[in-house]
Structure 1
Amino acid sequence: MSKNSRFKSGFTLGGEQAEADPLLADAFYESGDYDVIRSKEDPRCFVIGRTGAGKSAVFQRIEEEIPEHVIRINPEDLSLPYITDLQVIRYLDSLGVNLDLFWIALWKHVLLVEIIRHRYSVNTPAAKQSFLKNLRERISKDHGKEAALGYLDEFEGRFWCETEERVREITDKFTRRIDAEVEGGTSGGFVSARAVASTGTEASTESRAEQTERFQRIVNDTQLAKLNKMISVLDEDILDDQHFTYVIIDDLDRDWIDERLANDLIRCLFRTVLDLKRVRNLKVVVALRTNIFQELDFGKKSGGQEEKFRSLVLHLRWTRADLQELLDERVKASAARTDVAATSMGDLLPHANKTRGNPLHYMLERTLMRPRDAIAFANECLGVGIGKTRLTWQDIHNAERTYSAKRLLALRDEWKPTYPGIDQVFAKFRGCSGRMDKQEFQRRLDEAMLLISEPNFPGTDWLKDLSSAMWSPGKDSTGFALYQPLAKLLYSVGLIGCAVRSSRAPTFYLDDPLFADSESNYEQCEYFFPHRMYQAALNVKAGNTETTN
């Protein structure tokens, strides 16, 4: 690097989030996972990854490359908060009415109409009529398909409106059917769904059972038959090789929906995508955060389709080589915009030596092998090194303190929707040893479990559930029964790794996601390690730490 080529505040490796990343277009790294998502032949369509793993970046890249073939469905445009907040919906849910068929019909309608609008540029009443006329002429000999087109006629002037308006119309129509059933009820004990929902009045057991049965019939009487026929029309008469279409759905993990119904809605979206696999020139791709995917209950309500769902899952994973290439590409792109003469991370970092090792490996060992972590650490280092021509080891160590603190806060933000107050559990490991023996580890778990006795702790429900064996131990309770549930959580989120007696190196979730599930593994674990990414933030005691991840 030239002596005059000093780091300036404008020299960074880009943003940590795709929507605020100025280098994404110039330095996008096409990993093998990107190739899978982009592939028309590969059936995997559920993209699962931790926050910061690159899900949104992949989608944004596809949109930029082939915009004429991509439809993006934004959850914010679906009026889902409006739907789940309806008193009738909430009441049906409280009665135990299975709303799956309604949710599936809703998703199919949204996707079907968006694809047709995109394919034929249907944005006016005249465009809709022209599209329907031409399509009817092509399928005039197939009465089943022709009848299915009547479904689209039902929306009259709403077809070309915004998605939000159409979703609300379908929901309002469903609500009116429920109201009509209530008003037409003859049972003397029948109570209006709206009245019960708004006043809290309890109906008798008999009348609740009657309501559940009658409302379930309405839910089951959806227009799925016509919608399914329209899917055949979509496959055979609308989409062809020249009009291969990607539908991408992201941001389902945002906190914009009632948690009681969120899992059902997402699970039914997965079922809808599975049904749409028979459309040959269509690929619907859904991105979901790992912790939300783990919460989906496929087993109970998905008709034995869990195995099918999981066969279509792509877990985003990055290797050290992937991240190194990604950072090198970003160095080139950023250097081209500045007067910094660098072509790789190696040009910015101190030289490797036998005592300290490889500086890039040191940095990547303090990530969860995600692009966001690697970019964030590199940017912290560059911020510390402003005015220099090359970073020093001391610069990396100084940057690590700030970086580690921010990553711990990010870990809290990632998991607090599912586990409110989890940061207070993390805090119980402040000042711990870099290599905790089982006694120290379980003592700190004991302290964490006692948080449920604190009146302002927001996570009493989930923590009580994970520590239930501790509060009601049986005579044969093992260490596994008492401590494994909470230990597994800390292992799964990436805070803690563990090592069995026969191994010097700890195992982390990235190495083996199922390791903490095994009783024999837990019993054999001798040492527990806070991940290097969080050690500076937790003031972990130096010495006796692992030599490798």
Structure 2
Amino acid sequence: MSRSGARPRRRSNLNLGAEQAEADKQFLRTAFYESDDYATISDKDDHHCFVIARTGSGKSAALQQLEEDFPEHVVRIMPEDLSLQYITNLRVMHYLDSLDVTLDPLFIALWKHVLVVELIRHRYKVDSPIAKANFMSNLREKMRKDPGKRAALDYLEQFQDRFWIDADQRVKEVTEKFEESINREAKGKIGLSGQVDATIGSTSGDMFSSEVRTELADRFQKIVNETQMARLNQMIKVLDEDILESRQNFTYVVIDDLDRDWVDEKLTNALVRCLFRAVLDLQRVNNLKVIVALRTNIFEHLDFGRRSGGQEEKFRSLALRMRWTSGELEELVTERLRAAASKHGLVFNSIRDILPRTNRTRGDALGYMLQRTLMRPRDIIAFFNEALSNSSGGQLSWEDIRAAEEPYSRERVLALRDEWKTSYPEIDKVFHLFEGVTLPLSHAAFTRILDDAITLPGDPDFAGAEWVQRLTAKMWSNPSGTWTDWYGPLVSLLYNIGFIGCMTGSRTEFQYVQTSPDFADRTRNLESITEFGIHPAFQMGLDVRIDNSRR
């Protein structure tokens, strides 16, 4: 008994599961919500093959569910199992890059090689030298009347008994053969053998004269270009007509986790960009769907326009950008609630069964909670779990929701930092410049905070100097520029990651990236901003005040 005589409330053990659905297999099996985006991903006739989404949007969970739904027809390729870090750490790669040799043909060929071989291994269960020999014999017999296809099989024969080994070893073998070709060319065919041999892969090509650099680059580029082997491309035709020739052999290839920090940024972008180009070529295979999942910020930094031969529009047309509506999120948490409640012998028909009723004073509880998310499953699950952890019997009151909001909001600030810290180191120091402000912020007040952000590189310990200086470069190079010239790139960043909202003179509500994703991409919109806000998800975490007289 408490001193007041009332019984202390018993905390509820009810929760909606892990925020990362793919890490919570029980909920993934029993409470997976099949959104419209998942229907698109699993549709065998839909050509969207690049799943672009922010952290916590459910892309990894969707791909894992695909494996659950089609267990015999999904090949998952893990980037960390492909020796990609080994490739990009090779000194010869950096040497060629210093000579401005384009490595894209090599990287495209490597991806095609990995995809073709893994599909063959999956289709014919090639897991030993004997299985490989049987497969090759049967396929050669099938193609005995087609010399072109028989020649394509020679590409596979060069691996002999090593065909069935793990993918990372095969990738290393292809790369090592390429490295040998480069070294052989450097030693034997250029009249600078001693000079080149002493520097290949260990010293930058910048030491050579422009004439020598040009000759080296031309010869090495020819070797790189030859890695687009005709036999490998012919194997794609074999894949379509002879290996995955029927609908019953339809196969999904899933590639996720490309946003892990496994290589430096420049070579990461090159490898991922080349994967996209390889996937485009593989769309010729009718009974195959390659699905590549990628975080939004990585996709936007791939530099398709300059490096993809004019294919940027095609890449974007094949990209599925995962977004959630309030209705879909309500159904998702309802599914999870039903699954969680059943373990406790409880029955709920809707998530609204555990929420306080809507009234004129406080409004709609679910709407209130959704407004404090970035419209992602991870956010709303985290909010509910925080509220449920202190609730009584699983029923939520407004007091439970309000008590949960502050710790939830603090966690969202940290999550936003973690999501973007790779591209924008110490971006949280910019977030905390807004701590304790009163909203809405006038144009002048917001500008003063941006000025403080711009001075952060003055601190020698600040790790984000490069990106802050890059986004504010026009302030120093164009002293006669407009406010939008100077501050626009930084405003666009804070808006696009979901941290701030913008009010324009023609509107009565703040625009946020969830509902107006292209707002900050237009100069005229930035010029028309009259007031700024912080997204409600982060307000309590930053101890923000609201001036209701101005709202």
Q: How high is the TM-score relative to the length of structure 1?
A: 0.95
Counterparts of residues 282-431 of structure 1 (less than 5 Å): 282-385=288-391, 387-431=392-436
Give the Cα separation in 2 of the matches to 1:410 and 1:298: 28
Q: Are 1:189 and 1:203, in contact at CA under 8 Å, matched by a contact in 2?
A: no
Equivalent position amino acid for 1:245 in 2: T
Equivalent position amino acid for 2:84 in 1: L
2:447 alignment partner in structure 1: 442
TM-aligned CA deviation for residue 362 of structure 1: 0.4
Deviations 1:350-406 (A, max 9, x none): 221111101111000000100000101110111121x44522211111111111111
User: What SS does the corresponding residue of 2:52 show, helix, strand or coil?
Assistant: strand
Deviations 1:7-66 (A, max 9, x none): 755421011113321311100000111000000111111000000000001011010111
Q: Are 2:500 and 2:532, in contact at CA under 8 Å, matched by a contact in 1?
A: yes
Q: Are 2:440 and 2:546, in contact at CA under 8 Å, matched by a contact in 1?
A: no
The worse-fitting range, judged by mean Cα deviation, of 463-472 and 401-410 is: 463-472
Equivalent position amino acid for 1:132 in 2: M
1:45 alignment partner in structure 2: 49
Deviations 1:415-445 (A, max 9, x none): 1111111111111111122211111111111
User: What SS does the corresponding residue of 1:418 show, helix, strand or coil?
Assistant: coil
The worse-fitting range, judged by mean Cα deviation, of 341-350 and 245-254 is: 341-350
Give the Cα separation in 2 of the matches to 1:314 and 1:341: 35
TM-aligned CA deviation for residue 543 of structure 1: 2.7
Give the Cα separation in 1 of the matches to 2:271 and 2:119: 20
TM-aligned CA deviation for residue 328 of structure 1: 0.6
Could you tell me which of 226, 230, 243 is aligned with 1:225? Answer: 230
TM-aligned CA deviation for residue 544 of structure 1: 3.7
2:20 alignment partner in structure 1: 17
1:246 aligns with 2:249: no
Equivalent position amino acid for 2:500 in 1: I
Give the Cα separation in 2 of the matches to 1:189 and 1:126: 44
User: What SS does the corresponding residue of 2:195 show, helix, strand or coil?
Assistant: coil
Counterparts of residues 83-162 of structure 1 (less than 5 Å): 83-162=87-166
CA RMSD in angstroms comes to 1.8
Across the two proteins, how many residue pairs are aligned to each other? 541
1:163 aligns with 2:167: yes
The alignment-based identity, stated in percent, is 53
User: What SS does the corresponding residue of 1:497 show, helix, strand or coil?
Assistant: strand
Q: Are 2:187 and 2:194, in contact at CA under 8 Å, matched by a contact in 1?
A: no
Give the Cα separation in 2 of the matches to 1:203 and 1:438: 53
2:265 alignment partner in structure 1: 259
1:74 alignment partner in structure 2: 78
Q: Which runs of no fewer than 5 residues in structure 2 stay unpaired?
A: 1-6
Q: Are 2:92 and 2:202, in contact at CA under 8 Å, matched by a contact in 1?
A: no
Equivalent position amino acid for 1:11 in 2: L
Change (3 A) 1:70 1:187: same
Equivalent position amino acid for 1:20 in 2: A
Q: Are 1:7 and 1:340, in contact at CA under 8 Å, matched by a contact in 2?
A: no
User: What SS does the corresponding residue of 1:456 show, helix, strand or coil?
Assistant: coil
2:3 alignment partner in structure 1: none
TM-aligned CA deviation for residue 348 of structure 1: 1.6
Change (3 A) 1:8 1:140: farther
1:236 aligns with 2:254: no
TM-aligned CA deviation for residue 496 of structure 1: 0.6
1:213 alignment partner in structure 2: 218
Q: Are 1:91 and 1:193, in contact at CA under 8 Å, matched by a contact in 2?
A: no
Deviations 1:202-234 (A, max 9, x none): 233332222111110100112431111110000
Change (3 A) 1:546 1:332: farther
User: What SS does the corresponding residue of 1:68 show, helix, strand or coil?
Assistant: coil
1:175 alignment partner in structure 2: 179
Give the Cα separation in 2 of the matches to 1:257 and 1:282: 29
TM-aligned CA deviation for residue 296 of structure 1: 0.8
Deviations 1:448-468 (A, max 9, x none): 011111111111111101111
2:4 alignment partner in structure 1: none
Give the Cα separation in 1 of the matches to 2:400 and 2:447: 36
Q: Which runs of no fewer than 5 residues in structure 1 stay unpaired?
A: none
The worse-fitting range, judged by mean Cα deviation, of 323-332 and 427-436 is: 427-436
Equivalent position amino acid for 2:99 in 1: L
Q: Are 2:55 and 2:419, in contact at CA under 8 Å, matched by a contact in 1?
A: yes
Give the Cα separation in 2 of the matches to 1:14 and 1:82: 37
Give the Cα separation in 2 of the matches to 1:28 and 1:462: 39
